[in-house]
Structure formats: structure tokens, C-alpha cells
Amino acid sequence: KSCQTASIATANASAQARNHVDAQVQTEAPVPVSVQPLSRYNVPRLAAFLRRVEAMVIRELNKNWQSHAFDGFEVNWTEQQQMVSCLYTLGYPPAQAQGLHVTGISWNSTGSVVACAYGRLDHGDWSTLKSFVCAWNLDRRGLSPRQPSAVVEVPSAVLCLAFHPTQPSHVAGGLYSGEVLVWDLSRPEDPLLWRTGLTDDTHTDPVSQVVWLPEPGHSHRFQVLSVATDGKVLLWRGVGAGQLQLTEGFALVMQQLPRSTKLKKHPQGETEVGATAVAFSSFDPRLFILGTEGGFPLKCSLAAGEAALTRMPSSVPLRAPAQFTFSPHGGPIYAVSCSPFHRNLFLSAGTDGHVHLYSMLQAPPLTSLQLSLKYLFAVRWSPVRPLVFAAASGEGDVQLFDLQKSSQKPTVLIKQTQDESPVYCLEFNSQQTQLLAAGDAQGTVKVWQLSTEFTEQGPREAEDLDRLAAEVAT
Amino acid sequence: MNEWTKTDREPDPLPSSLPGPTAPGLGEPQAEVEETLKRIQSHKGVIGTMVVNAEGIPIRTTLDNSTTVQYAGLLHHLTMKAKSTVRDIDPQNDLTFLRIRSKKHEIMVAPDKEYLLIVIQNPCE
């Protein structure tokens, strides 16, 4: 007998889905989890638990307090870097061909992008010259030092730059014309996000520094603060169609400065005090230090209420922010920096070539160091080592000071330019703490890798800083 | 409910002597909890104290919210891992105490079935 399957019937048919749905996904900032309130039913069991463990914990705390078991014991987790080396030399040839200097530098919030502003710092009428803001993404493969990842052409010289604290592609810049602009570097076709425009509120002098500040009450929204040599400190917020609107303003007037220290008498008619640098305290978000053209730092507060005696037009009432005047330098101040580890210490540097370490509690500086025979253009505290700061000098070098090693001379002197042209700006990278970027008059940005001694905090450094502040003050 | 009869408890004090608004009848353990935590917190060098429940949710703390939540989540995981490590090596053994020493301070964790007590101390050198 044989068997055979019957032929199988087949047929062809086609199918296509005609309906489709679009969906978008976005992560939101996480809602912070809060501590649960103690519910009544757990209390007796919690009390029993604490009774059980208390004796053991107190015993361990006591043992720990008296123990010398770990004295001098240090562990190295990272590869030790002995020398300071130059990782990248970045530049934008069209800007360098025009003889532009690097006037401002900023690292973005993720620490992988460094942006620089091109302009001129020797005073002249460069307001009609095109300038640039360039950004390099150091983490991208195929990084080309002569080709920035993003270039923005700006109609006027840019004198200062600051990246947004949380948005990795937003950057604010202050112009020679007094305007403040905010760009989004992730949009190459149209990067300009907001601008102040040239209104009555805008600065009438070049903007010396811009800083991002969290809005009071909304910790994830930010405003831009700009200071300029016309004596105004202005707070801007982006509204509507690309317009930066003035929300708060302050004006520095000679007659309203607190007389905590003797100042040189100014000739009649000069009532405005030009602001050249600003630094906010990391401990009190309303407190800031202003560096001035007169060489004296001012302690100011955003909460100051007194109206400013100025006739400058403004859409919001201008207030006088100064609360305390410190002893002056021998010339205008170019940079101030508040210590991220000590609430009262700040540094200032200026044209007299000196760096002053001030405590906010007294007018004369705690110590004064002469770092250069020419001007000092920038000074910054290290974000990781409480006793370290860096200064950029007019002789073309970056000086790194470690107050633990020596309070007289720099621990490391990095020669940035070969022909002694000045270094105008420098910034530490707070995410990748071994990187330091510095921009000079030749239009190059050099990214330096610091040795391990500058990036790892020693065991008792914060206490050493406190002791230094107390010692020098008495 | 057996717990209530087993533990040694002093008679409930009169309501007028209670230090603050507390649930009636539960004021005494509440005050004891607060006092114990205050004793630990005031010890030499202690930076912060917190109590975390079995799910890793903080129920008592002397530090700010975000720091507490971070410590609670991370140390809860680590304590569970340490406990399973000890028991894997020897099933008759169990974790009694966990200490983590870092450059800046020392973290001590006293574990239990239902709670974790975490104390952060800055030791003297």
C-alpha cells in the first residue's frame, strides 16, 4: 500500500498597516524623593531597634575617635600623573588671521566642551569688526584642533563667555557694544537664542563679565547677570521671541560706596564706578564680590534695597548693591574668584601684578602676592583642592599656587606663549578636574592636564584652609 | 501586638509633662527615639545620623533631604550586598556591622531586620 499527501493549497496575499501612531519620549527631571514622615505604628519597633544597636554604635564611634590605625595611610586609585602637559592646542585660523585674542573661556556643564570668545582686549574701536565664538568637543573622536565643532559669527567683539550650568549647549556672551547674547551651539543654522538688543536698559560700555544665576524659587531656570564698566550690574531673563528682558538692576555710584576704607578722591563728574569682574559666593547665593576699575573689591548683595543715585535710564529701578569696600589694589582689578571651600575667602588680581587674598570680614587683604611684573588677567580657585589657585599673567604664563607647599612662589609655572604675549583667561574643568584651559593673545586655547598633586584633595585640606584663614587674619 | 507586652516600659507619664505634640499613648517611645538619636548625633566628630527602613527609605535624619536620600539608597544596597557576601561564605554567619573608611570621613552602618542606622563621623587624626 502506498500513501501520498494531497497537494497543499497555497495562496498569496499582501497586507499593509494603514494606521500608524507617532509617539515621543522624553526624560523629565526626577522628582526628588523625600524623607518619609514617621508613622505612628513604627515608633515602638524603632525604639526597640535603637535600644539594641545604640551601645554598639557608641562603642565604635569612641574607638574610631581614638584610633591611630589609619594615620598616614593613603590609597591611590588613579594613575599618578607627575608632570603638567599640554593636551590640546586649539585655535580658529580665520580669527587668528585677524589678530583676535581669546578674551573668554568656558567649560560646559558636562565638562566635555570648551568654548572660547574672540575679541580684542587692548582698547580700540573694534566694535565694527566681526568676531567669533568657537567651541570644541574634546570627547569627540576626530577632534581637529584647527576646526571647532561649532563656530558662531558675532557682529561685535565678544569679551566674556559663560556656559549654562545645566544645558550643555547654551552659552551667554557679553559684547563690546554692551549687549548680552545667548546662543544655542547645537543649532548650527541659527544659534542665537536671546539678545538684549540696544535699548535704554543695555549697558553703555563693554560688558566685562557674564554669569548664570538660578532664578529665586525656580532652581532649574536661570537668569544671566552682566557687569560692565558703566557701573551697572544687570539681571536678564529670556522672554518671548528671543528677547532678554531686564528683571533687576544695580548701579554703582561713588557717593553710595560704604566708607570702610579710604579711597582716592575722584575728580568731579566721575560718579559711576566701573565693574570689571564678578564672583558669586558658593555658600550664600545672594552674596557677590565685584572687582572695580578703582582697584577695590566690593562686597554686594542681590537683596540690597537702597535705590541708586543715578540718572541712567532704566525700566526697572536700579539699586545700590555695595555693602562693604575692601582695601584697593594698585590698579584696576581684572578678576575675582570666591573660594568654593571657605565662605569668607576670595582672591582678586589686577594690573598691579599682585594677587590679594581677602577675607570678607576685614578690609585689608590677608595676604598679597606679587606674581608678575606686568598685569594679571585672571585668577581662579581650584574646584577640588582648597589651597590651590591659578593665575594668568601678562608675561604669557599660567601660575599654579599651592598654599600648602609655598605661600611665596608658584608651585608650577606653565609657559603658554613662546613670545611672552599675555594669557587673558583661564578656567578649571569641574567635571574632569585634571583639565585647565587657558586662552592667550595669539588666539590659541591650550588645554593643560595637571599632575595628580593638583587634582586630588589631601585628607585634611579643608581644615588647613580654615587654619590658614584664621592664622593670617590675626 | 506581642511586642508591647514583652518590652519593659515605664508607666505612661501624664500628658502635661510630654515635651511636644505626640500621639497619645505613644509619646514615650517617640521621645526615646529622639533622645537616642540626639545622643548619637552629639558624639565627637559625628557629621550626620539617619535611620533607614527595610526598603531603603529614610525615616529619620539630621542631614538635608537630597544627601539623606542618596546615602540611604546607596548604603542600603551595599549593606544587602555585604550581608549576602558574609552569608555566602558561611551560612551560619551574619553581618553585624559595616564600616566604610574614606579620605574625608567614616561611614558606619548598624544593620537589622527592619532598619539600618547610619552614622557618618569625621575621625580625629
Q: Report chain A residues whose CB lies below 8 A from the CB of B1.
A: none
Count of other CB atoms within 10 angstroms of residue B6: 8
Q: Is B68–A35 a contact, with Cβ atoms under 8 angstroms apart?
A: yes
d(CA B49, CA B63): 7
C-alpha closest to that of A292 among A231, A365, A203: A231
Does the structure's ipTM exceed the value 0.90? no
Residue B1 inside a domain? The answer is: no
- Output the nine-digit C-alpha cell for A468: 590658614
Quick one: pLDDT at residue A210? 93
Beta strands in A321-362 (DSSP E): 322-325, 333-338, 345-350, 354-359
Residue B50 inside a domain? The answer is: yes
Q: Is A260 exposed, middle or buried (0-12, 13-18, 19+ CB in 10 A)?
A: middle
For chain B, the 3-state helix, strand and coil shares in percent, each to the nearest 5, are: 40, 25, 40
Residue B32 inside a domain? The answer is: yes
Count of other CB atoms within 10 angstroms of residue A432: 16
Rounded to a whole number of angstroms, the distance between the first and last alpha carbons of chain A is: 117
Nearest to B114 among A45, A51, A66 (CB): A45
- Enumerate chain A positions whose Cβ falls within 8 A of a Cβ in B: 32-38, 40, 42-54, 56-58, 60-62, 64-68, 70-71, 74, 457, 459-460
Residue A146 pLDDT > 60: yes
Give CA separation, A275 vs A315, A320, A348, A376, B115, in Å.
21, 13, 13, 16, 55
Identify the CATH assignment for A85-258+268-471 out of 3.10.20.30, 3.60.20.10, 2.130.10.10, 3.40.50.10680: 2.130.10.10
Residue B102 inside a domain? The answer is: yes
Quick one: pLDDT at residue A410? 83
Which CATH number is B88's domain given? 3.30.450.30
- Calculate how close chain A gets to B88, using CA atoms only, in Å: 24
Q: Is A32–B69 a contact, with Cβ atoms under 8 angstroms apart?
A: yes
Sign of the torsion formed by the C-alpha atoms of A111, A112, A113 and A114: positive
Lowest mean pLDDT among A100-109, A461-470, B55-64: A461-470
Rounded to a whole number of angstroms, the distance between the first and last alpha carbons of chain B is: 47
Domain count, chain B: 1
d(CA A428, CA A335): 14
Sign of the torsion formed by the C-alpha atoms of A42, A43, A46 and A51: negative
Residue B2 inside a domain? The answer is: no
Q: Is A64–B66 a contact, with Cβ atoms under 8 angstroms apart?
A: no
Global confidence as pTM: 0.72
Quick one: pLDDT at residue A261? 64
- Output the nine-digit C-alpha cell for B103: 579620605
A405-410: long-range contacts, CB 8 A cutoff, minimum separation 24:
A407/A367, A407/A369, A408/A369, A410/A371
pLDDT tens, residue order, chain B (125 aa): 444 444 454 554 444 443 444 444 445 778 888 889 899 999 888 999 999 988 888 888 899 888 999 999 999 999 999 999 999 999 999 999 999 998 888 999 999 988 999 999 987 65
pLDDT in tens, B14-48: 444 434 444 444 457 788 888 898 999 998 889 99
Quick one: pLDDT at residue B14? 44
β A287-292/A298-301 pair status: antiparallel
pLDDT in tens, A371-417: 888 889 999 999 888 888 999 988 888 988 888 777 778 888 888 88
- Calculate how close chain A gets to B89, using CA atoms only, in Å: 24
User: Which residue, among B33, B44, B101, would best test binding to A if mutated, counting the most A CBs under 10 Å from its CB?
Assistant: B33
d(CA A331, CA A350): 6
Quick one: pLDDT at residue A81? 67
Q: Is A457–B37 a contact, with Cβ atoms under 8 angstroms apart?
A: no
- Output the nine-digit C-alpha cell for A165: 550650568
β A318-319/A243-251 pair status: parallel
Contact in structure between A446 and A116 (CB atoms under 8 Å)? no
Contact in structure between A109 and A164 (CB atoms under 8 Å)? yes
Domain extent, residue B37, equals 22-121
Quick one: pLDDT at residue A44? 82
Residue B7 inside a domain? The answer is: no
C-alpha closest to that of A380 among A438, A422, A331: A438
Q: What percent of chain A has pLDDT over 70?
A: 91
Residue with cell 511586642: B3
Highest mean pLDDT among A18-27, A177-186, B9-18: A177-186
Question: Taking the domains of chain A in order of start, what are their residue ranges?
Answer: 85-258+268-471
Amino acid (one-letter) located at A361 = L
d(CA A160, CA A164): 13
Contacts of B31 (CB under 8 A, 6+ apart): B18, B19, B22
Count of other CB atoms within 10 angstroms of residue A417: 17
